[in-house]
Every structure is written in C-alpha cells, then in structure tokens.
Amino acid sequence: SATTGTIFLARQATALTAPPTGSVTGNGAIADLVGFGTSNTFEGALAPSPSATTSIARDAAGKDTDSNVTDFVAAAGTPGAAPGGTTEPPPTTATIEEIQGTTDTSPYAGQSVTTEGVVTAAYPTGGFNGFYLQTAGTGGDVDLATHTRSDGVFVFSSAAAALVHVGDHVQVTGKVAEFNGLTEIAPPSASDVTVLATPAPAVKPAVVALPGSDAQRESLEGMLVSLQGPFTVADNYSLNQYAEIGLAAGDQPLWQPTEVADPHDAAAIAAVVADNAARKVTLDDGSSTNYFSTGKNSPLPWLTQDHQIRVGAPASFTSPMVLDYRNALWKLQPTAQLTGSGEPPVSFGHTRTDGPGPVGGDVQIASFNVLNYFPTTGADFVAAGGSCTWYDDRAGNHVTVNTCTGPNGEEGPRGAADADDLARQQDKIVRAINGLGADVVSLEEIENSAKFGEPRDAAVSTLVDALNAAAGAGTWAFVPTPSTIGDQADEDVIRTAFIYRTGVVEPVGESLVDDAPEFDVARDPLAQAFQPVGRTSASRFLVIVNHFKSKGSGPDDGTGQGNSNPQRVAQAQQLVSFADQAKTHFGTDRVFLSGDFNAYT
C-alpha cells in the first residue's frame, strides 16, 4: 500500500529471490532497499510511514547508513502541477478553395478551419453521413485550364446532415482530413455547423466536359457539375449490389485493352488503358448501401420493371450531380440519396430490340446457356449422402446450390436447391426457348447426368419433355449422345447439348464429341449435322456447340487476356482441327460455331 512496503534496488535483471524478513544488509544481489511503515523487511530499522498528508525522503545529508529509520525522514508532501498539455490552436478562417488547394491533399489537413458556403447536396441517410458545401456564387462556365482549386468540399457530420438542406447558407468549423482521398471537414458536433440568416448567391453547376486527368478532376472535387457531351453505359456489374453504373464519356463503351490492341504491343495496350481511364466515371446513388445485405428489402435505384440498363446504352444527365471521390473511384453523386422513387438525374436509352431482324433463310440457329439446369437438385444430393452449401433468398430460404460435395469428394450438382426451385427455373427456360423462334438450339451448362448415376442424356430429355408439354407433343427432340464416346471420367458435371424442332430440321447421322485432352478443363465440343426436313444433302449444315474454359481461374500468362489464356488458345486450335474433321465426316462445309466461348467485351 502507500503507507507500508519495501522497495528494492537490485543488481540483477532477473527476479530476486525473496530475502528473509527482518533487517537485510550485505546481500550481494541488493544494492539498497527501504522498508517503511509496518513492512517486515528493512535495513536496520523501519523508515517512517507516509500518509495522505506526509511523504518520506532521504535526510538532508543524503547518506546511506544501512538504517532506514536514520536515512529517511517524514515531511509534508510536495504536490506539483499536473503536466501541461498542448493547447489546440484556434481554427483558421479559410475559403473552400484555400482548403482544397491545388493538389490531391489539402494544405490544411489535420488543422481546424472555419469556412462557409451553400449546401449543394445532403445525405442524412444512406451511410454518407454528411453534406457537400460550395462557395456561394461559384460554378457556371469553368475553364479547366485556369481553374486549379475546387470550390466544393464534403462536410462529414451525421448530426448536421439532418439539420441542413440544399440551398442553405452555412458556416462550418471542423478539422480537415483526407479520407481515402476525399478532402473533408469534420465538425466536432452539430453546434459547429450554423445555418446563416444572410442570403448568399446561388451555386451554379460547373458546365464542363468530363475532365480527362486526375488533376483536372481534383479541381472539381465536391463541386456541382453539369457534364456535357454524350455518355455510354460501360458496365453494370455493381448495379444490383451498390447501385453503381460505370459510364464512359463519348459514344463508345470502355474496351478490354486486348480486345482492340495486340496483347504483345505494350504501347498500344497502354494507349487503350489511358483512354479508358480518361473516359471512365462511376454513377452512384448517394449512399453506401449494400443491396445484398442491409438494403435487401429496399427498391433498387435506377432500374424499373420495364427498363433495363444495358452496356452500350446512351446515358443523358437530366439534373446536376456532385463530382465525388470515394472507394478509389471518381463518382457522380445525386444531390440526395436515391430511393427508387422519383425521377433519377440520369436517363438511359432503350437498346434492347424485340428480336433479330430478318436476314432471309429457312432455318434459325440459336445458343442458350441454361445456367446450371440440374434435375438432380441439391436436396436430392443431400438425401443421397452428399453435402451442400447454398445461396439463399432474402427470407433465408435455399434457392440454388453454392457447392455440393459427395461422400468421396466428388463434385455434386450446381443447380436448384429443391424441386420447387427447379420448377421455377425450368418454367423460365421453357418460356424463353419456346419464344426464341429458333429451330436448332445449342445448350450449355446442362447437367451431365452420367455423373449422377443416370443416362448421360437424362437431363436434356427432361427439358425436352417440359418444352413439348408447353409447345405440343413432338415439337422438340434432342440429339442423343453418340453410341461410341471416349472416357467420360474427365468430363465436367455440366455438358453441351442440342435440341431441335422436328418439323423443321432433322439430324444427319450420329453426333460427334471431341474428348481431346485440351478440353479436360472445359466442356467437350459437340458436333451435329442437320438438314431441313424433306430437303437434300445440298442444304446440309453443321453446328458445333462449345463451352470454353472461363477466365476466372487457371494460370495467367501475363498478356492481359485473363486467366487460362494458354488453355483457351489450345482449345481454339483444337476446335479448328475438330471442325475440319467434322466437315469431312458429315460432308458439308457450312459450319456454325455456337455456344459459350466465355469471352465478353
């Protein structure tokens, strides 16, 4: 305690062996010690006991006589002032353009400032927790050659975001920070944000084309903008999760560099990469909502039931937006969170046609990926001793299989979770195929039933039965597996297949399966010759359905063409050889290569 104890000064770095009680002197491991109060270990005799009002200290002579009572005396305490801390300097008054500076980092980062401006956007909901402030009267026709400092800034304050409105004249005091590249001011509390009674000139949206460089975009960070020129939808990959849409300035989408340039021409690839970067901007919904989780019961912005947003569609701005930087992307934010109601600030052109235009001819050929159509459901597989993980709907009900593994480690089905899910999937496929108007349809991602102890054609037979139940008995038939087929051990759990309208075409001979080793990591190509019913061999044609290895896994050869490029090149070369063999076998040089080549623009 503070009134009794023993303090040792040891001559070693390791723990002391407990000394005996009583007076301890002459111990080689102990340089000195003091016992005070009622301690049972001391030198000579105990030093006085300190108290709440007294302390003990060496006597004035400062000698060590090996007697604590002689060497230490009690006296009044000598309290001192607490160590002084640094005083936060008063905030600096600065304009928004001074706070933003001419680079991507504010010269006031880490300092407290006071500034004022007009609220251009407010986000009290959705996760942004703040609002945008812009210097009164700025914007309009902006010359990016001379405009080097932004007049807008983000104010991070969830409390204040609910108190201000677009158009308010506001004074803000807070610390400047760079949050993942976005300059922002963070007021300590809502009281540090004041709505001013004095009117201020309105902010005008900056009328500019999308800046092509980061430096020019920095000069507009946080400002209200009215972007000029045509824009094109470049991607919609994150639309259903974060309500983000990739846009490209101009009338062309962004390109995969190796799609338009030689992968071995470094300069050409670099030029495409630079062009993509200069034209890309991301359209956002004014929130950080994840519609896969926290927002799963909320309407998704941008989309409507009768209007899809497709890559390549033109986009037009109908209202000003804020140029924003977050998640390492330049984004365009609406002036309030989009909630799925009201008119969005961007409109999109309709590019989906009702169907292909007329091209002449007597037979229509189509390809259809049935997206893991498995009559063997996950529930069936589990009942037979396998195990599965699942993708669930919003209510937590299993909908489709994620992964399934058999008792011996074999891969299981990839499709519907149970019979109800299979019926829903099958109904969609049947309506789509019967509505295609095609006479020969190649199929991909249909169950290879041989992997589940059934005849290899069981799944395609089940699908044809469902098609005929809707279209009329005998309307459709499938091309059976050839009587002679190679080793099926290396086949995938999905396969390719053909179905056809019996009243329009008929197959010629048995189909051919290419089981070359190049396709051990893909699906075997399937070839079949057809000719119109009642016509001669002069009208014969050959269709080969393919499903190449995807680019999502496998080795990357470093050419920028995605994973598995060497395997895909080998598959393409083998396909040419197989097509030549099939042409000779079926006696026709009319060849159609169909299917899913797993390569997209």
Domain coverage including residue 24: 5-76
Mean pLDDT score of the chain: 94
Whether 279 is in a domain gets the answer yes
Nearest residue to 302 via CA among 315, 288, 320, 292? 315
pLDDT, tens digit, 9 for 90 and up, residues 313-371 = 999 999 999 999 999 999 999 999 999 777 899 999 999 888 778 888 999 999 999 99
Half-sphere exposure in the Cβ direction for 40 (13 Å, CA): 4
Strands of 396-460 (E only): list them.
398-405, 440-447
Instruction: Verify that 32 and 149 share a domain, yes or no.
Output: no
Whether 64 is in a domain gets the answer yes
Contacts of 79 (CB under 8 A, 6+ apart): none
Whether 86 is in a domain gets the answer no
What is the model's pLDDT at position 253? 96
Instruction: Verify that 117 and 62 share a domain, yes or no.
Output: no
Instruction: Verify that 71 and 96 share a domain, yes or no.
Output: no
- Mean pLDDT on 250-263: 95
Instruction: Verify that 331 and 432 share a domain, yes or no.
Output: no
pLDDT, tens digit, 9 for 90 and up, residues 518-537 = 999 999 999 999 999 999 99
**DSSP per residue, 482-542:** PSS----TT--SEEEEEEEETTTEEEEEEEEE---GGGTTSEEEEEEEEEETT--GGG-EE
Tokens representing 239? 């639309």
What is the model's pLDDT at position 152? 99
- Mean pLDDT on 27-44: 90
Is residue 24 within 8 Å of residue 30, measured between CB atoms? yes
Domain boundary among 348, 375, 407: 348
Whether 81 is in a domain gets the answer no
Report the range of poorest mean pLDDT among 29-43, 115-129, 228-242: 29-43
Instruction: Verify that 374 and 493 share a domain, yes or no.
Output: yes
pLDDT confidence of 508, banded at 50, 70, 90? very high
Whether 572 is in a domain gets the answer yes
Is the predicted pLDDT of residue 61 greater than 90, yes or no? no
Is the predicted pLDDT of residue 86 greater than 80, yes or no? no
**The pairing of beta strand 30-36 with beta strand 329-333:** unpaired
What is the model's pLDDT at position 354? 81
Q: How many independent structural domains does the chain possess?
A: 4
Instruction: Verify that 129 and 193 share a domain, yes or no.
Output: yes
Q: The CATH number of the domain where 390 resides is what?
A: 3.60.10
